[in-house]
Amino acid sequence: MSTPPMDELFGDIDLEWEHRKNRAFRSLCFLSSILGLAALALLIADVLWEAYRGVSEYDIGIIHFITSTGSVNPDRAGMYGALVGSVLLIVLASIMTFFIGVGAAIYLEEYAPDTRLVRLIDANLANLAGVPSVVYGLVCFGLLINGPLDLGRIILVGAIALALVVLPIIIVSAMEALRAVPDSVRNGSYAIGATRWQTIRRVVLPAAMPGIMTGTILAIANAWGQTAPLLMVGAIASARHVPTGPFDDITALTVTIFDWAFRFQDQFHVLAAMGIVGLLVVLLGMNMVAIYIRSRYEKELS
């Protein structure tokens, strides 16, 4: 018995055109992803090259760069003060937003009745997350520095500005994480005689926590890279100034890089590139932690 030829069996099916469409679309998608990646790679390569010039041409030691504080003299300038400012800002903003953000998400997802008002708030949270961050800086400037209150250009005000930027992002991502917990699990808890709070505390939150943490870390990474709102509340490049607390003058890494990049000496441009590398290293670290949490705890529920 011989196998019948291909044409005899499937001759009536013409897939030539379908396959061609398939190939064309695949190439298109491949091209777009390559373009995006190439642009990113180019940027990073440029920054790395500039930073490398700092180490080779200007002989700036990496340790020296990290441990010394800004100065008008590029030979003595470093990112220490600015780094301390950024860390203070981020820590304060995180403390302010995590509990409020997760609390708001729990209320909206688990408690709030399904009324028109709640749905309006729901929809507008996403809009708030999309408001340009400079606007939040302006609001803080208007309310806390040059308005009803005059707290001055201090770290705390910058942290509040950053908190406003990340709060809607945290709320939205925490709500998504809570929504991903299937109702069957909630019902299982209610059906055994758990109260709503017990259900949230013991079942829903633990199940949603990896998602909430991932979203929070990404939101904080976003805050870490913010420049505009800090400029609006009067952040200055760190020159000989290492902030020691929330009421100290505000300075931040991004703002310092911004300042360096606009000096006329080439050595400052190189310093800016080195600062950017520092910024990126921290960002990369945060993203890696987020990815780790996601892959470590992600498990099919239901």
Partner 1 sequence: MATQEPDDKLISTEVSADETVRNERPDETVLAAKDLDVYYGEDRAIDDVSIEIPENKVTALIGPSGCGKSTFLRCINRMNDQIDVCRVDGDVVFKGKNVYDGDVDPVALRRKIGMVFQKPNPFPKSIRENVTYGLEVQGKPATEGDVERALRGAALYEEVHDKLDTSGLDLSGGQQQRLCIARAIAPDPEVILMDEPTSALDPVAASKIEDLIDTLVEEYTVIIVTHNMQQAARISDKTAVFLTGGELVEFDDTATIFENPADSRVEDYITGKFG
- The label of the residue with tokens 């991903």 reads 180
Count the Cβ atoms, other than its own, within 10 Å of residue 173: 23
Dihedral (CA of 214, 200, 109, 127) sign: negative
Maximal C-alpha separation, the chain: 95
Tell the smallest beta-carbon distance from residue 205 to partner 1 (Å). 11
Half-sphere exposure of 59 (CA within 13 A, CB side): 1
Tell the smallest beta-carbon distance from residue 206 to partner 1 (Å). 7
CA distance 108 to 114: 9
CB-based contact 236:295 (threshold 8 Å): no
* Total binding residues toward partner 1, as defined by CB under 8 A: 23
Nearer to partner 1, 127 or 184 (CB): 184
Structure tokens belonging to residue 112: 């709030």
Among 19, 116, 296, 299, binds partner 1 (CB under 8 A): 299
- Dihedral angle, C-alpha 58, 59, 62, 63, nearest 10 °: -120
Pinpoint the alpha helices (H) of 131-233.
133-140, 155-179, 183-191, 196-199, 205-224, 228-232
Tell the smallest beta-carbon distance from residue 175 to partner 1 (Å). 19
71 binds partner 1 (CB under 8 A): no
Nearer to partner 1, 185 or 286 (CB): 185
Nearer to partner 1, 187 or 265 (CB): 187
Pinpoint the alpha helices (H) of 68-115.
80-106
Binding pattern for the stretch 149-188 against partner 1, x by CB under 8 A and - elsewhere: ---------------------------------x-xx-xx
Among 48, 87, 121, 194, binds partner 1 (CB under 8 A): 194
Nearer to partner 1, 12 or 300 (CB): 300
Among 32, 67, 195, 295, binds partner 1 (CB under 8 A): 195
Among 48, 190, 242, 249, binds partner 1 (CB under 8 A): 190
CA-based nearest residue to 132, from 106, 177, 165? 165
Interface with partner 1 in residues 95-124 (CB under 8 A)? 113-114
Interface with partner 1 in residues 199-238 (CB under 8 A)? 202-203, 206-207
Sites of contact with partner 1 (CB under 8 A): 113-114, 182, 184-185, 187-195, 198, 202-203, 206-207, 299-302
